[in-house]
């Protein structure tokens, strides 16, 4: 999918807005890839905010680092990480943003648990995934997709509370999770 096609299919600014990003926030983009969301997130959070782009693939981190340098974006840091542990302190982020990544993770409960560790007590984890519907043939195989119900079960196992789910487009949904500090 080209960048233009991807922007049309899943508009970054609208998606980040639906996730709740505003100026001054600290955001962790888990599975940031080449920065499709991290770069526009930097503009939303502005100079008083910060974005951490985290990925397990060195090539993605290098690409994002190059874009940050080329565009002179001062409020984005990049981190090469493992799936199970991100080298950032507990409660770093106002929002942990996870876009079309969860369906690729081998241990989604541990991954969500790590997101829960990274988010502040009053913060949120925003997850974007493909709808799991037979009429949607593009995207990952149906067996790899995570339905809203499956995400709810995984979140509960990870000690997280499920909040609002919104259809971003015909193909993608966004679900917000919070820490279960009850």
What would the pLDDT profile of 130-176 be if each residue is shown by its tens digit? 998 877 778 877 778 899 999 999 999 999 999 999 999 989 999 99
Q: What's the pLDDT score for residue 137?
A: 72
Distance of CA 76 to the CA centre of its chain: 15
Residues 6+ apart with CB under 8 A from 12: 36, 37, 40, 41
Classified as helix, coil or strand, 182 is coil
Tokens of 88: 């950032």
E strand or H helix that includes residue 27: strand 26-30
Distances (CA, A) of 19 to 37, 79, 96, 142, 144: 11, 22, 9, 25, 23
Q: What percent of the chain has pLDDT over 90?
A: 82
* Separation between Cα atoms, residue 83 and residue 66, nearest integer Å: 23
Distances (CA, A) of 137 to 2, 31, 86, 175: 18, 23, 33, 22
Average pLDDT of every residue of the chain: 93
Average pLDDT over residues 107-119: 96
Least trusted range by pLDDT, from 9-18, 26-35, 53-62, 130-139: 130-139
pLDDT band at 1 (very low <50, low <70, confident <90, very high): very low
Average pLDDT over residues 58-86: 95
CATH number for region 3-179: 3.40.50.150
pLDDT band at 181 (very low <50, low <70, confident <90, very high): low
The pTM is what? 0.94
Q: What's the pLDDT score for residue 9?
A: 86
């Amino acid at each position: 999918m080209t960048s233009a096609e991807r922007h049309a299919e899943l508009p970054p600014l609208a998606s980040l807005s639906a996730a709740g990003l505003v100026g001054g926030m600290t955001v962790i983009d888990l599975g940031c890839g080449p920065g499709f969301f991290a770069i526009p997130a930097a503009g939303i959070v502005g100079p008083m905010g910060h974005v951490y782009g985290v990925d397990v693939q060195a090539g993605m981190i290098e690409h994002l680092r190059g874009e940050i340098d080329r565009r002179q974006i001062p409020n984005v840091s990049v981190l090469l990480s493992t799936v199970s542990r991100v080298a950032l302190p507990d409660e770093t982020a106002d929002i942990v943003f996870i876009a079309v990544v969860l369906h690729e993770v081998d241990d989604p409960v541990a991954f969500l648990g790590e997101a829960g560790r990274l988010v502040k007590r009053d913060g949120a984890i925003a997850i974007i995934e493909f709808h799991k519907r037979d009429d949607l043939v593009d995207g990952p195989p149906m067996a790899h997709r995570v339905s809203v119900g499956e995400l709810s079960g995984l979140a509960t196992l990870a000690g997280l509370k499920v909040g609002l789910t919104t259809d971003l487009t015909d193909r993608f949904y966004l679900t917000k999770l919070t820490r279960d500090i009850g």
